[in-house]
Amino acid sequence: MKTSGTDTAAVVLPSRSMKSAWSRALRRLGDSPEIGIIVALVMVFAVFTITNPLFASISDLQNPLGVDFAGFGILAVGESLTIITAGIDLSVGSLTAFFVVASAWLNVTAHLPMLLALLVTVAVGALWGLWHGWLITRLGVAPFVATLVTFIFAVGADEAIAPSPIPISSPSFLAISDSTVLGVPVAVIIFLVIAVAAWVFLERTYIGRELYAVGGNPEAARLAGIPVKRRLMLAYAVSGACAGVVGIIEASRLTSGTADSVSGWELIAIAAAVIGGVSLRGGQGKLIGVVAGAALLVVLRDGLVAINVNAYYQSMVVGLVLLAAIVIDRLRVQRLERASRRQVRPDRVEG
Amino acid sequence: MADSAVPKSDYGAGEELILAGVRKSYGPATVLDVEHLSLRSGEVVCLVGENGAGKSTMMGVIAGSVEPDTGTVSLGGRSLGGGTLAAQEMGVAMVSQEFPLVGELTVAENLLLGRRPSDRRWFVDRRAIYTAAQKMLERVGLDVETRRRVDSLSVAQRQMLEIAKAIGRSPRVLILDEPTSALGPQESEHLLQLAKEHAAGGSIVIFVGHRLNEVREVGDRIVVLRNGSVVADLAPEEATEHRLVQEMVGKELKGTEGRKAVDDAAPVFTARGLETYNFGPVDLEITPGQVVGVAGLMGSGRSTLLHLIMGSRERTGGRMTLGGEPYAPQNTGDAVRAGLGLVPEDRKTQALLLDSPIRWNITLSALRRISWRGVLLGRRTEKREAAELVRIANVKCQTPEQAARSLSGGNQQRMVFGRWIATQPRLLLLDEPTRGVDVGAKAEIYGLIEQERQKGMAIIVASSELEELLHICHRIVVLRHGRVAADVNRTDFSKERIMASAALGAGK
């Protein structure tokens, strides 16, 4: 950029000029995409509120928006773990639809107690994820392909289980989506718990760090003594379990296990992760960005409805936001690479 | 010679390849400086020299992939220059050590890649391709099905295929870069024959070799490079093995640093009959505070040995002990837990998280140790640890939070070193620890090795640079074809001796 020559010196010799303060701020922004996405979120929210003063009130968390946010958010958290390992999980949308039906079936048709039914649902999600991990690590199947198989399979599986909707009567099951604690919907609380747990995992446990290493450079991770295959399995298992949780939340909201209830959610999850700064090349990204990315997508969608924008345009806007996120990510990488090329020469001489 | 009136179009006898005043420098280091060298057609000229003597650069200059700073290269009076394509059109063909073959295509398709053996303009004439390919294979005596996919061939077959491809162009200058390193004894013999025949047909063959007996057998002339210059131009009769090694090495460096061979303490690590595919059996032992070098030509199994010990390559046989206990790593995790560390050969692909901070890179192998109750990674603890490691390993950076990518090669290497200082392994394995770093950084890495050695770490260093091993090791184990060819103590160090063990008796 502009500061090419002084780029590295800036940190050591802070200059008081406005220009360098500004360029430093810009660089900060470039270094941590999370800040950028949070700023964008606030700005978008502000624009909608100004355009339509009712927006702020309808978008409080008790609105269905809150449940949507929880659903997208939880999927995005699981998805981002797989993307951090330089993989991808295409199955989560279709698995969610499957678990909508499966959780209702377990509770209603199979007469399992509610809590047990939900636990089994999440456990099956985790096992399904482990299966993806197994395909990927033992057979060397590309993550895209391994999860695509499930994507297709699960679409059929949910209709096979429930040709017609399975109505849910258990009040505690239904409470997941329509009751609140201190004004916050239970679904959102579940999301927050998952998000905090994932944050602790990624930022504050050694296994979380190893996950980044596996995504950043699998061979380096292996030679550093990290059990690469186990870490990969874990990421896919968590992603599968997240799909189970979201399936339960959606079943509760729909009050029945209905086939084909959601579609395309895996793409929203991927978009939220990428917009939030999780690099598709792996090894990069923070949970706070993922949450902000999911929030931005929900606010955009809902906000565009609130100001009466046609549904076609909604998708187009989301597409453009994704494009912007990807372009910013690439520019950041290129800048880093340029910086490293510059660095080589002076150091050579110094030795 | 220059005054000859040979017509330019004549590819016949008497043609010359002349390098005049060719110099090439990278930064302050001059890698090639050839006053005058002329190669006549009909000759097999062997090019020998140590690693870094300038062989590759010279080949590159002739093949057009390296542009010299000054000087000219001419073939039959016409200047060769302007890139690899121009050189190819002038009739220069090079067989390099990496084979630029397309694995998914068939043998025949690879052989005729970029050429059209028939008049059909738009469509591929399959039959013509396969007949032409068959002829090319017969010429080099390679017996493989032309319809086989190249990725199903062995390394030796690919090497021969690459040679068939080069010879198929009927080159006026054929450059062979260590062509026998991938071949077995019979195939090597056949290849030497081919080189001779091709030269006899009126071409110039440049043969770069490490195995001195082959060089003496095939060469009409043997040119020795040292530090970028031609130091000897010998007839095969003059080129005894002793003479060649001496010319390559130059004046024998006396052990300037009087490092004593370590007394016979109990070994911290032993290996007996270590084996894997095309490697071994190898025996090895090392005592605490000892630095053992692993020398050998390319393909002798230096890296393989280290990876076997580290558990990052599958063993097919052998027993190891570490600290007197049986040691049988199933994976690198086992090795690290047992107290091993490996600084791999290729930083970029095997060691670095390029876009992550130095902190992440340097604590990577010690994460579990510095975590609270072996689970939670405290931010402050980690930062303290990282800062300390950066200091010990002398990584020059503004902050441990900057990306590893922003460091120079030497600093990156010290950072990877620091990763293992963090775990304090009992045995540290270093694979080409100073590859791609400058002289100053080298000295610092040697300093780190000495520092950790004094703390009692046992260190095994594999390196293609003999000077380096002579400088830092107590003992040097020489590998040849995956077996120990010699085990030399510091008191007996001599470059000739080690070179001879590594290079002689090829293929047996």
Annotate B416-452 with DSSP letters as a single string.
HHHHHHTT--SEEEEESTTTT--HHHHHHHHHHHHHH
Q: Do A219 and B350 touch (CB under 8 A)?
A: yes
Pairwise CA distance, residues B170 & B178, whole Å? 20
DSSP-derived letter for residue A21 is H
B367, B371, B375, B379, best to mutate vs chain A, most A CBs in 10 Å: B367
Closest CA to B212 of B240, B234, B188: B240
| H-helix or E-strand spanning residue B118 | none
Is the confidence at residue B256, as pLDDT, over 70?
no
Cβ-Cβ contacts under 8 Å, A285 against chain B: none
Instruction: Identify the pLDDT of residue B408.
Output: 82
pLDDT digits (tens, 9 = 90+) for B446-459: 999 999 999 899 99
Amino acid at B27: G
Q: Is A341 near chain B, with CB under 8 Å?
A: no
Pairwise CA distance, residues A186 & A172, whole Å? 11
A85, A202, A206, best to mutate vs chain B, most B CBs in 10 Å: A206
Q: Which residue of A has its CA nearest to B312?
A: A223
Residue B226: pLDDT band by 50, 70, 90 thresholds? Answer: confident
Q: Do B411 and A347 touch (CB under 8 A)?
A: yes
Strand segments, DSSP code E, in A54-211 are: 166-167, 180-181, 184-185
Strand segments, DSSP code E, in A202-258 are: 256-257
For residue A48, give every residue at least 6 positions away whose Cβ sits within 8 Å of its Cβ, in sequence order, or none: A55, A59, A299, A303, A306, A307
For residue B57, give every residue at least 6 positions away whose Cβ sits within 8 Å of its Cβ, in sequence order, or none: B24, B31, B32, B66, B228
Q: Is B330 near chain A, with CB under 8 Å?
A: no
Instruction: Identify the pLDDT of residue B293.
Output: 95
Amino acid at B482: G
Residue B130: pLDDT band by 50, 70, 90 thresholds? Answer: confident
pTM above 0.90, yes or no: no
Cβ-Cβ contacts under 8 Å, B410 against chain A: 347, 351
Backbone angles phi and psi of B411, in degrees to 5: -70, -40
Q: Is B275 near chain A, with CB under 8 Å?
A: no
Whether the upstream peptide bond of residue B281 has omega within 30° of 0, thus cis, is yes
Closest CA to A78 of A319, A315, A278, A264: A278
Burial of B182 (0-12, 13-18, 19+ CB in 10 A): buried
Question: Is B317 within 8 Å of B281 (Cβ atoms)?
Answer: yes
Question: Is B224 within 8 Å of B210 (Cβ atoms)?
Answer: no
Average pLDDT over residues B220-247: 87
What are the Cα distances from residue B166, in Å, to A94, B96, B102, B172? 54, 10, 15, 11
Q: Is A283 near chain B, with CB under 8 Å?
A: yes
Closest CA to B34 of B234, B250, B229, B248: B229
DSSP-derived letter for residue B309 is H
Closest CA to A88 of A331, A267, A326, A321: A267
Question: Is B63 within 8 Å of B57 (Cβ atoms)?
Answer: no
C-alpha distance from B59 to closest chain A C-alpha (Å) = 26
Q: Which of A314-318, A341-345, B159-163, B450-454 has the lowest mean pLDDT?
A: A341-345
- State the average pLDDT for chain A: 84
Residue B179: pLDDT band by 50, 70, 90 thresholds? Answer: confident
| H-helix or E-strand spanning residue B149 | none
What structural domains and CATH numbers belong to chain B? 16-249 (3.40.50.300), 254-339+425-508 (3.40.50.300), 355-423 (no CATH)
Instruction: Identify the pLDDT of residue A187.
Output: 92
Residue A124: pLDDT band by 50, 70, 90 thresholds? Answer: very high
pLDDT digits (tens, 9 = 90+) for A46-75: 888 787 777 666 555 556 678 888 999 999
C-alpha distance from B388 to closest chain A C-alpha (Å) = 19
B26, B310, B312, B332, best to mutate vs chain A, most A CBs in 10 Å: B332
Is the confidence at residue A17, as pLDDT, over 80?
no
For residue B275, give every residue at least 6 positions away whose Cβ sits within 8 Å of its Cβ, in sequence order, or none: B281, B282, B315, B316, B317, B318
Number of helices (H) and strands (E) in chain A: give both, helices first. Answer: 16, 4
Question: Is A261 within 8 Å of A183 (Cβ atoms)?
Answer: no
C-alpha distance from A210 to closest chain B C-alpha (Å) = 8
Residue A343: pLDDT band by 50, 70, 90 thresholds? Answer: very low
Closest CA to B331 of A222, A218, A206, A208: A222
Q: Do B364 and A221 touch (CB under 8 A)?
A: yes
Cβ-Cβ contacts under 8 Å, A344 against chain B: 408-409
Q: Is A320 near chain B, with CB under 8 Å?
A: no
Question: Is A104 within 8 Å of A256 (Cβ atoms)?
Answer: yes
SS3 B41: coil
C-alpha distance from B374 to closest chain A C-alpha (Å) = 8
Q: Which of A137-151, A320-334, B387-401, B423-437 has the lowest mean pLDDT?
A: A320-334
Tokens matching residue B182: 């991938």
Tokens matching residue B496: 């000739």
Q: Which residue of A has its CA nearest to B337?
A: A225
Residue A339: pLDDT band by 50, 70, 90 thresholds? Answer: low
Instruction: Identify the pLDDT of residue B351.
Output: 94
Backbone angles phi and psi of A151, in degrees to 5: -50, -50
Within B141-203, residue ranges assigned H as helices are 155-168, 185-200
C-alpha distance from A73 to closest chain B C-alpha (Å) = 25
Measured in whole angstroms, the distance separating CA A279 from the mean position of its chain's CA atoms is 12
Q: Is B379 near chain A, with CB under 8 Å?
A: yes
C-alpha distance from A18 to closest chain B C-alpha (Å) = 23
Q: Which residue of B has its CA nearest to A214?
A: B353
With a pLDDT cut of 90, the percent of chain B lying above it is: 36
Token look-up 């004094």 returns B454
Q: Which residue of B has its CA nearest to A228?
A: B333
Is the confidence at residue B473, as pLDDT, over 90?
yes
C-alpha distance from A346 to closest chain B C-alpha (Å) = 9
Question: Is A227 within 8 Å of B333 (Cβ atoms)?
Answer: yes
With a pLDDT cut of 90, the percent of chain A lying above it is: 52
pLDDT digits (tens, 9 = 90+) for B181-192: 777 777 788 888
* Every domain of chain A and the residues it spans: 73-288
Q: Which of A144-158, A282-296, B52-66 has the lowest mean pLDDT?
A: B52-66
Q: Which residue of A has its CA nearest to B354?
A: A216
Q: Which residue of A has its CA nearest to B441?
A: A351
Backbone angles phi and psi of B271, in degrees to 5: -135, 135
Q: Is B375 near chain A, with CB under 8 Å?
A: yes
Nearest-Å Rg of the Cα atoms of chain A is 22
Backbone angles phi and psi of B340, in degrees to 5: -120, 160
Is the confidence at residue A30, as pLDDT, over 70?
no
0.90 surpassed by complex ipTM: no
Contacts 24+ apart (CB under 8 A), A44-50: A44/A296, A44/A299, A44/A300, A44/A303, A45/A299, A45/A303, A47/A303, A48/A299, A48/A303, A48/A306, A48/A307
Instruction: Identify the pLDDT of residue A156.
Output: 87
B26, B342, B346, B364, best to mutate vs chain A, most A CBs in 10 Å: B364
Question: Is A287 within 8 Å of A203 (Cβ atoms)?
Answer: yes
Q: Do A351 and B410 touch (CB under 8 A)?
A: yes
Average pLDDT over residues B343-354: 92
Q: Is A333 near chain B, with CB under 8 Å?
A: yes
* CB-nearest partner of A225 from B332, B350, B396: B332
* CB-nearest partner of B419 from A222, A224, A351: A224
Pairwise CA distance, residues A206 & A204, whole Å? 7
Q: Which residue of A has its CA nearest to B346?
A: A220
Q: Is A343 near chain B, with CB under 8 Å?
A: yes
pLDDT digits (tens, 9 = 90+) for A202-234: 999 999 999 999 999 999 999 999 999 999 999
Question: Is A212 within 8 Å of B344 (Cβ atoms)?
Answer: no
DSSP-derived letter for residue B252 is P
Is the confidence at residue B9, as pLDDT, over 60?
no
Average pLDDT over residues A257-264: 84
Instruction: Identify the pLDDT of residue A215.
Output: 96
Q: Is A111 near chain B, with CB under 8 Å?
A: no
